[in-house]
Every structure is written in C-alpha cells, then in structure tokens.
C-alpha cells in the first residue's frame, strides 16, 4: 500500500472513526464504510463510561495525544460503589477520574457525533448505508464484536436519585458479567 492509496475502514463506531481521524490527520485519504445510516445507531443518548482506571495516562490525555478532542459531553467520576457477589459494598475512590461519563448515539453532544464531526473536519469521507459484504481491500476492519459473548442491555430512565456510579458483580445480578447504574443530572 502506497501513501496515496485510499484506506478503507469498515465501521463508523468509535474504533473506526478514531482510526479514521488519526490516519487522515497523518495525511492519508480515508473512506469509512458504515452499514447503518447514522453513527451510534444502537444507542439513544445512553450513558457509558469511558474507562480510565487501568491506564497510566488519563484517557482524555491519551485521546489528545492521538489528536482526538474531547469535544463531546463528558463528566469525570472519581468515586463509585462496587457490590461483590455476596452483596457487600465497597466505596471506590481514585486520585484522578476513574472514568468519564459520556453519552452514546446519533444525537448532539454524544461521543459518536463528536467523532463523526472530527473525522469529517479531517477530510474523511463517510459512506452511510454501505454494507460491506467481503473485505479484500487493504484497510481496517472496525466492524465491532461479531457475536455478543454476554447479553448486553441498556436502559435509560429518569430518577431523582443523587448522581453516582454503582457496579454489581455476581452470578445472580449479572451472570458472567457485571451490571452498573450511572446517574447524572441532565
């Protein structure tokens, strides 16, 4: 692949768009092919946590180092509560944010729409409604997980609870995985 070859990326999820931004800013011509007609199509302003607790660098600094601006709505969480399988609760606190609460979906202020705007500003061509059947080109396959290893379901609802983050581990609550509740005032 020469430097003038267009790079095709399959999938306009966070991985595909982040990759597209980095490559386009490095001077490459990039096309993102996305099956659906918008970004974040699986989500409807759902909260997700952008994890930072396992990293040496804060995740936003890591993104900035890759040329990705955190111009999506985000909110740092330094503390939370974890329940073990016996129901014991543990307060968890970090010296810096454990994660950033953000929103997913095609709407304004979400991670997905911010990455889309940055990709377009960097000159990336995005083709929506473009189902890639076979992928023989040199390029990047960022089509997301093929099969869910667990059942992942999210629910968004209004509550008058205080802001906070709660995580529960254990077979009864979340067989083979975890369940979490994230509350943030609108």
Ligand X SMILES: Cc1cc2nc3c(=O)[nH]c(=O)nc-3n(C[C@H](O)[C@H](O)[C@H](O)COP(=O)(O)OP(=O)(O)OC[C@H]3O[C@@H](n4cnc5c(N)ncnc54)[C@H](O)[C@@H]3O)c2cc1C
Smallest gap from Cβ 105 to ligand X, in A, equals 11
Smallest gap from Cβ 14 to ligand X, in A, equals 4
Cα 13 to Cα 71, 104, 144, 186, distances in angstroms: 17, 10, 7, 25
Strands 79-83 and 89-93 come out as: antiparallel
Task: Report the residue number whose CB is nearest to ligand X.
Answer: 13
Smallest CA-to-CA distance from 101 within 13, 40, 164, 153 is with 164
Residues near ligand X, by CB under 6 A:
10-16, 33-36, 48-49, 51, 131-132, 142-144, 152-154
Smallest gap from Cβ 111 to ligand X, in A, equals 9
Smallest gap from Cβ 3 to ligand X, in A, equals 25
For CA atoms 37, 42, 45, 50, give the dihedral sign. negative
Smallest gap from Cβ 4 to ligand X, in A, equals 24
The three-class DSSP label of residue 75 is: strand
Identity of the residue, 86 or 131, whose beta carbon is nearer to ligand X in the bound complex? 131
Cα 107 to Cα 16, 104, 121, distances in angstroms: 18, 8, 18
Identity of the residue, 4 or 37, whose beta carbon is nearer to ligand X in the bound complex? 37
Distance of CA 176 to the CA centre of its chain: 21
Q: Residue 32: exposed, middle, or buried by beta-carbon count in 10 A (0-12, 13-18, 19+)? A: buried
Q: Are 34 and 128 in contact (CB under 8 A)?
A: yes
Smallest gap from Cβ 32 to ligand X, in A, equals 9
Identity of the residue, 2 or 146, whose beta carbon is nearer to ligand X in the bound complex? 146
Identity of the residue, 28 or 104, whose beta carbon is nearer to ligand X in the bound complex? 104
Identity of the residue, 28 or 126, whose beta carbon is nearer to ligand X in the bound complex? 126
């Amino acid at each position: 692949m020469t430097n003038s070859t267009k790079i095709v990326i399959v999938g306009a999820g966070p991985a595909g768009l982040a990759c597209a931004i980095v490559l386009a800013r490095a001077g490459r011509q990039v096309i993102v092919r996305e099956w659906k007609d918008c970004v974040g199509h699986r989500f409807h302003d759902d909260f997700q946590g952008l994890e930072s607790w396992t990293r040496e660098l804060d995740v936003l600094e890591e993104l900035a180092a890759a040329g990705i601006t955190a111009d999506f709505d985000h909110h740092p969480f330094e503390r939370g509560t974890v329940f073990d399988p016996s129901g014991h609760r543990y307060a968890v606190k970090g010296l810096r944010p454990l994660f950033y609460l953000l929103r997913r979906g095609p709407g304004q202020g979400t991670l997905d729409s911010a990455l889309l705007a940055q990709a377009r500003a960097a000159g990336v061509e995005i083709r929506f409604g473009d189902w890639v059947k076979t992928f023989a080109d040199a390029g990047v396959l960022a089509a997301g997980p093929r099969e869910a290893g667990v059942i992942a379901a999210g629910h968004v609802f209004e509550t008058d609870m205080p802001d906070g983050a709660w995580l529960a581990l254990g077979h009864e609550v979340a067989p083979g995985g975890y369940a979490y509740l994230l509350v943030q005032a609108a």
